[in-house]
A = this chain, B = another copy of it.
Amino acid sequence: MMPYFLFIYGVILISIIVIVYLVKYTFSKDKGTDKMQEISNYIKEGAMAFIKRQYKTIAILSVLALILIILCNYFGNSSKTPSEALSLACRTGVAFITGAFCSALSGYIGMYMAVNSNVRAAAGAKKGLNHALKIALNGGAVTGLAVTALSLLGVASLFLIYGGFSGSDALIKEAPSLIVGFGFGASFVALFAQLGGGIYTKAADVGADLVGKVEAGIPEDDPRNPAVIADLVGDNVGDCAGRGADLFESTAAENIGAMILGVALYPIFGWKGILFPLVARAFGILGSIVGIFSVRVKDDKDDPMKALKNGFVITSLINLIALFFIVKYMLNGVLPNNGGNVNYLYLYGCAVAGVLLSYVFVILTDYYTSITHKPVKDIAKSCETGAATNIITGLSVGMQSTALPVIFISICIFVAYQLANLALPNVANAGLYGTAIATMGMLSTCTYILAMDTFGPITDNAGGITEMSGAPEDIRNITDRLDACGNTTKALTKGYAVGSAALATFLLFSAYLDEVKKLLGKPLDSWFSVDIGKPEVFIGGFIGAMVVFLFSSTAIRAVGRAAQYVILEVRRQFKEIKGIMEGTAKPDYANCVDIVTKGALKEMILPGILVVSAPILVGVLLGKEAAGAFLMITTIAGVIMALFLNNGGGAWDNAKKLIELGEHGGKNSEAHKASVVGDTIGDPFKDTAGPSLHVLIKLVSTLTLVFVALFR
């Protein structure tokens, strides 16, 4: 086992070295004019103030959750002796706190880098597209590396401490289920980070637009608008901190789920089956580093999106090769029934299916949300007949866009399941392990995807800073093109996040069933069915789907309510601070930031509590099987709803962009006005409710795993 862990920790060390190099690289760059720095400092202060206060709230909620976990695991395990139960409760508690801390830390790192890279990317635009692109992508890469390396470090270390070191078969097999708390801690923090950040970013955006653009008639990102800084802060706290925590959670949850499934195949693969996910992840980080460094544009005319896509292809190819060798050397063994060898090529097929799925998701998201394809063009055209037809077309495109992703996830799960059954004929749980391998394949490019994602808000901010600082036209052109490219990468990441969430939950669901079997004293290769024909199980599923709708509703409404605070504050400043409109007096940016912060944090509590309490209630009242149905159908409905919200929102956004580029009458035409309505509706869809649903799905899985002992 030792060489594998040396390799894993080696990769973590390499990540740290690369992070240090990238940070140094970024901080060595020019910070631009005084004006730029001033704006950037406002953003930095606002973002830090938000995250400080948000983390305080999350800390309090985490302590409450910790107490609940310890109590539940201590008193829930009636079959265990008090000292065994206490030890279990403590280890789960420690894992929870570690997961929560690491998740918060990765969010913080992501945001810290973003607020420091934005101004440098803006200043770098002076030296050309490639320079600015490099700065923005390197800033994003720090987040990507930090998130995945931290997740790997946490899971690997807890595994070692909780049994991996012991060398005892029994302890090694027990360790993965003890790390579940890590995943729960990560998803708990991620939920509030994504919800709070998502509400913040859109409340500020909607508030700034409604009073600034509509009432006062000043353009977007105009420094006279008191909410403009809050708006720019929002991009960082929603997209960087939020998505960082989201994908931290994905990688952690998938590692843990796959490791638990590896336990079921212990007789064949031994500890290598449990360690496989971690090694695959480590190689994924290496591949992504190569991919990130390979990104460059030839000249200022080149398409930055093409360069980013090339990097993605390189990362994927490296991973495809690496996975072949990992599967070959780790997943071999003797079949128990006929003494033959495991056919590793079939298992490699599972990994290939996963890599292909990540590709397909990127292509499909691109098709439904980019301005070059039919869906967005249809929406833009429907703006000609007004806001109503725009919304109808957008909603219907969003709903339609759920079909192909669902079919491809289904195919991937099915193919991986069948291939693994071919590789391991008549072995219980073999098929599920195949889906675990596919998940590892899909997530092997995670570091790169995250780097691309964080690239989005950095370029968005860079665009805002150049605009507000009155930089010359040619620089603005460069940052505008990077900004448009960032919008696309953000949309693509969301598609990827949904797909990976679906696979992760399928793994965690299997892990949940394993836990239930253990609690009921059944052998792991027996079958525990979640029979939706039983009324209480049906009801569990019914409520699960409903929670997805109710959660989306509260998340969307929360944005509206928080935006109200912003609107009132901006109006107050326009009225009370004389000279804002003439440019002779400065608006009070900080107060605006403060008010959105308070509003967003207040509004995130209700949906957060809903999601945490609903599965526990279902489990306690209706039993373990109903909780299983709740989990599965929340996943099904959540994935579809997230696709609908993300793609619908993204498509409206780009339909507006298409019109602003001159189609259907161009800027300030009636069609443009109609498209603005769609964009505004899409904002809480794609940046608050949709991304929060990814987290919800995974939170429900880890939560049911942690609290299963409480269930009837």
> Does A400 reach chain B (CB closer than 8 Å)?
yes
CB distance from A620 to the nearest CB of B (A): 15
Do B633 and A403 touch across chains, with their CB atoms under 8 A apart? no
User: Can you sample 7 A-B contacts with CB below 8 Å?
Assistant: A388-B680, A389-B560, A392-B684, A400-B554, A431-B535, A532-B632, A533-B628
Do A396 and B545 touch across chains, with their CB atoms under 8 A apart? no
A387 CA to B387 CA, complexed, in Å: 8
Which residue of chain B has its CB nearest to the CB of A529?
B531
CB distance from A215 to the nearest CB of B (A): 10
CB distance from A689 to the nearest CB of B (A): 9
Query: With A409-B542, A636-B542 known to touch, is A550 a contact of B629 (CB < 8 Å)?
Result: no
Across-interface contacts of A543 in B (CB, < 8 A):
406-407, 410
> Does A513 reach chain B (CB closer than 8 Å)?
yes
* Residue among A389, A546, A560, A677 with the highest chain B CB neighbour number at 10 A: A546
Do A386 and B214 touch across chains, with their CB atoms under 8 A apart? yes
CB distance from A654 to the nearest CB of B (A): 17
A410-B539, A545-B636 are known contacts; what are 9 more A-B pairs with Cβ within 8 Å? A400-B549, A410-B543, A413-B539, A506-B535, A527-B533, A529-B529, A530-B532, A541-B633, A636-B637
> Does A487 reach chain B (CB closer than 8 Å)?
no
Do A636 and B541 touch across chains, with their CB atoms under 8 A apart? yes
Give the number of copies in the complex: 2
Do A556 and B396 touch across chains, with their CB atoms under 8 A apart? yes
Across-interface contacts of A513 in B (CB, < 8 A):
533
* Residue among A413, A510, A535 with the highest chain B CB neighbour number at 10 A: A535
A628 CA to B510 CA, complexed, in Å: 20
Across-interface contacts of A397 in B (CB, < 8 A):
553
A409 CA to B541 CA, complexed, in Å: 13
A549 CA to B396 CA, complexed, in Å: 9
Give the top 8 A-B pairs by smallest Cβ distance, nearest first.
A399-B553, A388-B680, A529-B531, A406-B546, A400-B553, A410-B539, A399-B549, A396-B553
> Does A382 reach chain B (CB closer than 8 Å)?
yes
A393 CA to B558 CA, complexed, in Å: 10
Across-interface contacts of A628 in B (CB, < 8 A):
532-533
Query: With A533-B530, A632-B538, A633-B541 known to touch, is A403 a contact of B549 (CB < 8 Å)?
Result: yes
Across-interface contacts of A531 in B (CB, < 8 A):
527, 529-532
A179 CA to B203 CA, complexed, in Å: 56
